[in-house]
């Protein structure tokens, strides 16, 4: 596998297959702890029922904290842009809390606003809890480990999701990027 260290934050990006990369050591300890502490308020978050289970989500991340998170991903963003050969723009970040038994069925994203996904797991869990990605008829996955996640290019063209229901809760940070300067209709 191709492996590259990016930037001052120490992130390591490893190619899993075309358009799907594992990223480790995503956030420095202080930012990771601040993200994890946001889950103290999970009971106030929006409930998003799915085919199986419930996801709790919030996009209410204080503006300065959002800037710090995106700044810490600036070299990851440069890596993304060098791979697609185009400038990208941040969409708003989201925190997800998936309850035990949750299953996000495999799907292709539908929004024109999503050209690249980054999801970072904020707690540890079973390997089968991670996201699966289909490329040329073969499935790949990223182990579900704290401060580890994936970069997915063209999620509107590739099936991805969970193949197994979660055996415990999952907590993650989700950040997507778009290719247009302005948001398009979702």
- Per-block mean pLDDT, blocks of 10 residues, the chain (186 long): 62 96 95 90 76 70 88 95 95 88 88 92 89 96 94 96 90 93 67
The pLDDT value recorded for residue 49 is 67
Q: Is residue 174 part of a domain?
A: yes
Q: Is residue 119 part of a domain?
A: yes
Q: Is residue 185 part of a domain?
A: no
Rounded Cα gap, residues 164 and 168, in angstroms: 12
Q: Is residue 186 part of a domain?
A: no
Q: Is residue 71 part of a domain?
A: yes
Q: Is residue 183 part of a domain?
A: no
CATH number at residue 62: 2.60.120.620
Q: How far is CA 34 from CA 110, 143, 151, in A?
A: 31, 23, 22
The pLDDT value recorded for residue 54 is 66
The pLDDT value recorded for residue 80 is 97
Q: Is residue 25 part of a domain?
A: yes
Q: Is residue 124 part of a domain?
A: yes
Task: Give the orientation angle of helix 74-84 with respect to helix 63-72, to 10 degrees.
Answer: 60
Q: How far is CA 136 from CA 2, 22, 142, 152, 161, in A?
A: 19, 18, 17, 15, 16
Domains contained in the chain, number: 1
Domain range spanning residue 86?
3-178
């Amino acid at each position: 596998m191709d492996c590259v260290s990016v930037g001052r934050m120490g992130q390591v990006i490893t190619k899993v297959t075309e358009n799907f990369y594992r990223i480790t050591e995503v956030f420095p300890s202080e930012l990771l702890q601040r993200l994890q502490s946001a889950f103290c308020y999970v009971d106030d978050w929006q409930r998003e029922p799915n085919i199986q289970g419930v996801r709790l989500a919030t996009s209410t991340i204080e503006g300065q904290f959002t800037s710090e998170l995106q700044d810490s991903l600036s070299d990851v963003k440069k890596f993304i842009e060098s791979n697609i050969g185009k400038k990208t723009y941040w969409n708003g970040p989201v925190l997800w809390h998936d309850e035990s038994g949750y299953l996000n069925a495999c799907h292709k994203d539908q929004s024109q606003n999503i050209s690249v996904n980054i999801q970072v797991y904020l707690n540890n869990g079973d390997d089968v809890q991670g996201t699966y990605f289909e490329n040329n008829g073969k499935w790949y996955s990223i182990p579900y480990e704290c401060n580890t996640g994936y970069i997915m290019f063209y999620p509107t063209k590739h099936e991805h999701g969970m193949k197994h229901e979660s055996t415990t809760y999952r907590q993650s940070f989700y950040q997507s990027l778009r290719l247009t300067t302005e948001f398009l209709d979702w």
